[in-house]
């Protein structure tokens, strides 16, 4: 058994120790040609794959624990964005060398992110490559017809985002700042995603910046949006920046992994009553029939040259 | 939209053109945060992820069409090895640069391998990296309790392999030889894998060499095996090599992606009658109660130092 096979054993044992879910749908995990899953009755499978490459998706000097966390988080976030319940992941990792300490930290970070929703590692692959990278595949369950897609936004819907925006981009520009955690440890919003099931008309997670990602909803739903800049939720740090600089971060900064969803106003009111105080949500605008994204400030149209923003219509 | 997003669009359009299965379980493919699948009634999900890295899993000068084929093949082979029916794949690819010609060839190869079983591309990711690599996740369906695992081998079972062994390893040592296709275009044995469902006690695909891979079955099933060297199925090319050299390739050469399974003798007879002539199969030995792998030649124990062979007990 070579070093890389040993790593798979390492993950297997750590994975088994972390898995105590008696209602698990996982029949067979790591160790055979493939994993085996019993779909729960009346559920559809949600599945996504995302790759992180050192130096592109995280700085090369990022601590291993944070890399492991992020590899899980960006994929669990995609499951959250569908309004689904995550239950399993596969991880294919390519490593330049075998460093036991690094691997221990990496796997602790990975499993720490998986733990709250009892997400199990059920398979994957370990290979050698000169560039550190990992591809995680995440799986979730959702009731038929209940997945929250990008193409369901309707004129009149409120546009809502979770927590604050632009923090990860700020942290990338200011290493070691008080917002470093927001870059290194993005929180997949799985509880919120599941709670919005049956409420939201459309949803996605913000990985490439609000403007660009909201654009995907607008294109898929063939609608437009009016955003109110003074309503963008900003952390205390970003509130101290010059106004336009903070908006720029909030609108175009990637890596936030907050949820952006659209929802009928009366349903949003009911949602907030039902989940009073459980989630930090901010209405930032409204879906309109005419295509395109328009920015507003103090009831006036506002023009900003969004850095790196790609027009979508 | 950047170059890499454009590639995803490229794969999406090619994927849609390739998907005509009216009985598809895929509700939503590429284009949202995740794909959505409706499990067919009474089926379990089989899932696997494997990574190919340039220079490790294929020579760097391999043509793009063959790389695309192999990326699909090695994963569909894992689904075959479970006795399951493949139906979908996700592909996460990391590319040093965007070369349209290369991508066209790569995707043609990938979809060509997926086409016979109508396997659909339902998601993935495209990223930039200095090293070309790809992680494919393959999904299949199998009836509950019918997956052919590694831990079901029983003393008295015949050990059977498909087609010929060692050809890919020979081709790696002899670039441009008549066996080059066996290295570049491994054939996932999906029809055989599905046919063996209900017949075989244990199965896997041979990716690391027969001796090592069979060892996984022996360890998982807590049994041993007697292999008869004169029964190893060899291609015409390998039959012309010195005897031990050919056996060495057949026993330790990787990348064959043939199936190795164990089956009760009477069930094998029934299988061969039922599928007369449809598959090229060779009995190479028998499962025994005492652990370990023993080699036999002309009814005598035979000692060989298997290159790169890792003992499993």
Give residue-wise pLDDT tens across range B177-205: 999 999 999 999 999 999 999 999 999 99
Set of chain A residues whose Cβ sits within 8 Å of the Cβ of B82: 32-34, 36
Residues B181/B63, Cβ–Cβ less than 8 Å:
no
What span, in angstroms and rounded, lies between the C-alpha atoms of A153 and A203?
8
Residue A193: which domain range?
158-302
Q: What is the CATH number of the domain that holds B197?
A: 3.90.650.10
Asked if residue A313 is part of any domain, the answer here is: no
Average pLDDT for residues A226-239, to the nearest whole number?
Answer: 98
- B166 and B96 fall within a common domain: no
Do A97 and A189 belong together in one domain? no
Amino acid B3: pLDDT: 58
The domain spanning residue B13 has which CATH number?
3.30.1330.10
Contact B90, B135 (CB under 8 A): no
In a domain, A307, yes or no: no
A116 & A193 share domain:
no
H helical segments located in chain B: 3-18, 64-80, 100-114, 167-173, 180-184, 190-195, 210-221, 236-239, 243-252, 265-274
DSSP type of residue B309: P
B39 touches chain A (CB under 8 A): yes
Radius of gyration of chain A (CA): 20
Q: How many CB atoms are closer than 10 A to CB A312?
A: 17
A273 within domain boundaries: yes
| Domain assignment present for B151 | no
**Do A179 and A274 belong to one domain?**
yes
Given a cut of 70, is residue A85 above it in pLDDT?
Answer: yes
* DSSP per-residue string spanning A231-248: GS---HHHHTS-HHHHHH
CB atoms inside a 10 Å sphere around CB A216: 19
CB contact under 8 A, A50 and B149: no
Do A178 and A273 fall into the same domain?
A: yes
Report whether pLDDT(A5) > 70.
Answer: no
Separation of alpha carbons B239 and B232, rounded Å: 10
pLDDT at A31: 83
Beta-carbon contacts below 8 Å between A and B = 190
**Which helix (H) or strand (E) element contains residue B30?**
none
Per-residue pLDDT, averaged over B211-240, amounts to 97
Q: Is residue A201 assigned to a domain?
A: yes
Nearest CA in chain A to B93: A51
Helices and strands (H and E) in chain B: how many:
10, 13
Helix (H), strand (E) at residue A183? helix A180-184
Residues A80 and A182 in one domain: no
The whole-number pLDDT of residue A29 equals 85
Q: How many CB atoms lie within 10 A of CB B218?
A: 23
Q: Do A192 and A240 share a domain, yes or no?
A: yes
**Nearest to A68, CA basis, from A32, A30, A121:** A121
Query: Does residue A217 sit in the same domain as residue A291?
Result: yes
Q: Which residues of B58-87 are buried (b: 16+ CB within 10 A; e: fewer)?
A: beeebebbbbbbbbbbbbbbbbbbbbbbbb
**Minimal C-alpha gap between A239 and chain B (Å):** 30
Pair (A170, A280) in one structural domain: yes
B87 vs A contacts (CB less than 8 Å):
none
* Same domain (yes/no): A10, A84: yes
The ipTM of this complex is: 0.90
B49–A150 C-beta distance less than 8 A: no
Mention every residue, 6+ apart, whose C-beta is less than 8 A from residue B276.
Answer: none
CA separation for the pair B167, B180 (Å, rounded): 8
Closest CA to A114 of A143, A59, A75, A62: A75
Domain boundary among B142, B177, B193: B142
- Checking if the pLDDT of B142 tops 90, the result is yes
Q: Torsion angle, CA of A212/A218/A224/A228, rounded to 10 degrees?
A: -40
Q: Report pLDDT for B305.
A: 85
Task: Tell me the average pLDDT across A108-121.
Answer: 94
Which chain B residue is nearest to residue A45, measuring alpha carbons? B37
How many structural domains compose chain A?
2
Q: Which residue of A has its CA nearest to B88?
A: A47
E strand or H helix at B261, and its extent? Answer: strand B259-263
Report yes or no: A164 at the B interface, CB cutoff 8 Å.
no
Beta-carbon contacts of B18 under 8 Å, excluding residues fewer than 6 positions away, are B111, B114, B115, B120, B121
Largest CA distance in chain A: 67
A172 is a domain residue: yes
Question: Hey, are the CB atoms on A36 and B310 less than 8 Å from each other?
Answer: no
What confidence tier does A312 reach under pLDDT thresholds 50, 70, 90? very low
Provide the total of helices (H) and of strands (E) in chain A, helices listed first: 10, 13
- What is the layout of strands, in order, in the sheet containing A300-302? A202-205, A259-263, A158-162, A281-288, A224-228, A292-297, A300-302
In this structure, is residue B12 part of a structural domain? Answer: yes
Q: Do A53 and B127 touch (CB under 8 A)?
A: yes
Rounded Cα gap, residues A33 and A86, in angstroms: 22
Q: Which residues of A touch B92 (CB under 8 A)?
A: 49-51, 135
- Claim to verify: residue A132 and residue A230 sit in the same structural domain: no
Tell which of B142, B166, B192 closes a domain.
B142
Is there a domain that residue A309 lies in?
no
| Separation CA B27–CA B15 (nearest Å) | 14
Do the annotations mark residue A285 as ligand-binding?
no
What is the predicted pLDDT for the residue at A37? 94
- CB-closest option in A45, A49, A130 to B90: A49
Least confidently predicted of A37-51, A201-215, B8-22, B230-244: B8-22
> Average pLDDT of chain B?
92
Residue with the two structure tokens 């080059």: B180
Bridge partners of B86?
B140
> Do residue A205 and residue A282 come from a single domain?
yes
Q: What is the pTM of this model?
A: 0.92
Pick from A97, A115, A142: which residue ends a domain? A142
């Amino acid at each position: 058994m070579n070093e890389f096979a040993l790593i798979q054993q390492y993950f297997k044992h750590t994975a088994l120790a972390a898995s105590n879910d008696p209602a698990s749908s996982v029949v067979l995990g790591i160790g055979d040609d493939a994993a085996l899953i019993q779909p729960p009755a009346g559920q559809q499978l949600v599945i996504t794959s995302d790759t992180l490459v050192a130096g592109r998706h995280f700085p090369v000097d990022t601590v291993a624990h944070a890399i492991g966390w992020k590899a899980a988080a960006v994929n669990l976030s995609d499951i959250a964005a569908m309004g689904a319940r995550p239950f399993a992941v596969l991880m294919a990792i390519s490593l330049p060398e075998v460093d036991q300490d690094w691997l221990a930290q990496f796997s602790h970070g990975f499993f720490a992110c998986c733990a709250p929703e009892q997400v199990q590692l059920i398979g994957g692959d370990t290979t050698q490559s000169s560039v550190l990278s990992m591809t995680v595949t995440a799986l979730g369950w959702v009731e038929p017809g209940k997945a929250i897609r990008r193409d369901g936004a309707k004129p009149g819907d409120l546009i809502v985002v979770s927590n604050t925006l632009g923090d990860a981009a700020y942290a990338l520009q200011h290493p070691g700042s008080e917002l470093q955690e927001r870059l290194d440890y993005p929180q997949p919003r799985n509880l919120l995603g599941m709670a919005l099931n049956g409420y939201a008309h459309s949803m996605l997670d913000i990985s490439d910046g609000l403007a660009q990602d909201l654009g995907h909803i607008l294109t898929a739903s063939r609608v437009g949006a009016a955003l109110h800049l003074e309503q963008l939720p900003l952390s205390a740090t970003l509130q101290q920046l010059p106004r336009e600089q903070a908006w720029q971060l909030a609108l175009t900064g990637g890596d936030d992994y907050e949820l952006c969803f659209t929802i009928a106003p009366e349903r949003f009111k009911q949602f907030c009553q039902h989940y009073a105080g459980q989630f930090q949500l901010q209405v930032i605008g409204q879906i309109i029939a005419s295509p395109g994204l328009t920015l507003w400030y103090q009831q006036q149209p506002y023009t900003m040259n969004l850095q790196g923003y790609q027009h979508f219509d």
